[in-house]
Amino acid sequence: GAGVSQSPSNKVTEKGKDVELRCDPISGHTALYWYRQSLGQGLEFLIYFQGNSAPDKSGLPSDRFSAERTGGSVSTLTIQRTQQEDSAVYLCASSRTIGGQPQHFGDGTRLSIL
Amino acid sequence: GESVGLHLPTLSVQEGDNSIINCAYSNSASDYFIWYKQESGKGPQFIIDIRSNMDKRQGQRVTVLLNKTVKHLSLQIAATQPGDSAVYFCAETLNQAGTALIFGKGTTLSVSS
């Protein structure tokens, strides 16, 4: 597609449930990033994928968070046993390999944990 | 840890005025800087970027200035319009693939007619 696509746009779930968030990057972009944005805050880096290399997971806040990227394209961010502090907007970005910047963002998934 | 900060959380201007949004960064190793605009319910939208080997870059109605001596970045918007109302974020990183952007908290720009 023309831009980064994320789904669902909104997700409401109960504390303790698992959730999966999806990101479809811009066609031809090999780098994919996940960020989290809490209310009124800037973006916090979570994880980065580049081709078939091992992902950079240095930003994941706990082992309840994981992500995968299948076929070098679509990525899924999974949060297990959700907690109320996980409520935030989860944003995905992609960029070209060469140069690596700028990163282009999707509109995010707004996650609310009840 | 090191992070990018902004001088003012909010900025209110009249339509037609020029706007200046400021940002201070702390990582001397950063060599790439970028401004994003974020409207309510949307993801950040790329506005303009600049590499550390430059001190000024112009786009359409926007100019980014970089002062490496005092580690300061600014975004100038000429002839501000109501459609410019949004939250503006600066971010820094190393100019290479695989490096995460470090964001500041953002400045909310309000433009009144």
Q: Give the Cα separation of A34 and A46 in Å (integer).
A: 5
Question: How many Cβ contacts (< 8 angstroms) between chains A and B?
Answer: 68
Q: What is the mean pLDDT of chain A?
A: 92
User: Comparing A28-32, A82-86, B81-85, which segment has the lowest mean pLDDT?
Assistant: A28-32
Chain A residues inside the 8 Å CB shell of B46? 102-104
Q: Is it the case that residue A100 has pLDDT exceeding 90?
A: no
Q: Give the Cα separation of A44 and A34 in Å (integer).
A: 9
The pLDDT tens digits of the residues spanning A10-59 come to 999 999 999 999 999 999 898 999 999 998 788 999 999 988 788 889 99
Cβ-proximal residues to B69 (8 Å cutoff; 6+ apart), any chain? none
pLDDT band, residue B100 (cuts 50/70/90): confident
pLDDT band, residue A60 (cuts 50/70/90): very high
- Asked if the Cβ–Cβ distance from B44 to A91 is below 8 Å, we say yes
Cβ-proximal residues to A8 (8 Å cutoff; 6+ apart), any chain? A21, A22, A109
Taking the CA atoms of residue A114, residue A107, residue B46 and residue B17 in that order, the dihedral angle to the nearest 10 degrees is -80
How far, CA to CA in Å, does A10 sit from each of A20, A22, B92? 12, 12, 29
Chain B residues inside the 8 Å CB shell of A98? 97
Candidates A65, A68, A64; CA nearest to A54 is A68
- Asked if the Cβ–Cβ distance from A100 to B43 is below 8 Å, we say no
- Asked if the Cβ–Cβ distance from B101 to A104 is below 8 Å, we say no
- Asked if the Cβ–Cβ distance from A48 to B98 is below 8 Å, we say yes
Task: Give the number of other Cβ atoms within 10 Å of residue B3's Cβ.
Answer: 14
